[in-house]
A = this chain, B = another copy of it.
Amino acid sequence: MEDQELRKAGLKVTLPRVKILQQLEDAAERHMSAEDIYKALLDAGADVGLATVYRVLTQFEQAGIVIRHNFEGGSAVFELANEGHHDHMVRVDTNEVIEFVDPEIERRQRAIAEQHGFELVDHKLVLYVRAKKS
């Protein structure tokens, strides 16, 4: 199953790669740092090096399998690219990532690009939020 995705990307089907892919698919949290994935795999009894996790994630990114986000707060996080487009809300107090889509914003973005005589190719929107003060 995941094997196809790897082969299609010209990557050998190795245990670390399959495990990392599965981890990203199965994890409760869609957005994981390299360290998160590494620890999860260790907990699951897999013998994978952190360096390999970084290497594999970089390869996955280049192959379009994952998307890397440079949110605030130290480390980059990765998510599978297989879902449709969405934007992100990041809780600055917990680093929790929440996904959302707002048609109105999407529409305005296209309109703005249009107004400037451009075609919208892509965009990145991140809202940094925190629990409301009571």
Contact = CB atoms under 8 A, between A and B. Distances in A.
Interface in A47-81: 70-72
Interface stretch (A9-17, A28-36, A117-125): A117-125
A81 to B, nearest CB: 15
A129 B105 contact: no
A42 interface: no
Given A123-B125, A124-B124, A125-B125, A132 B108 contact: no
A7 interface: no
Contacts of A86: none
Contacts of A72: 70
Shortest 9 CB-CB contacts between residues of A and residues of B:
A118-B129, A122-B128, A121-B128, A125-B125, A119-B132, A123-B127, A113-B129, A124-B126, A70-B70
A116 interface: yes
A66 to B, nearest CB: 15
A131 interface: yes
A116 B71 CA distance: 19
A128 B109 CA distance: 10
Q: Give the interface centre of A72, A92, A125, A129 by most chain B CB atoms within 10 Å.
A: A129
A70 B72 CA distance: 7
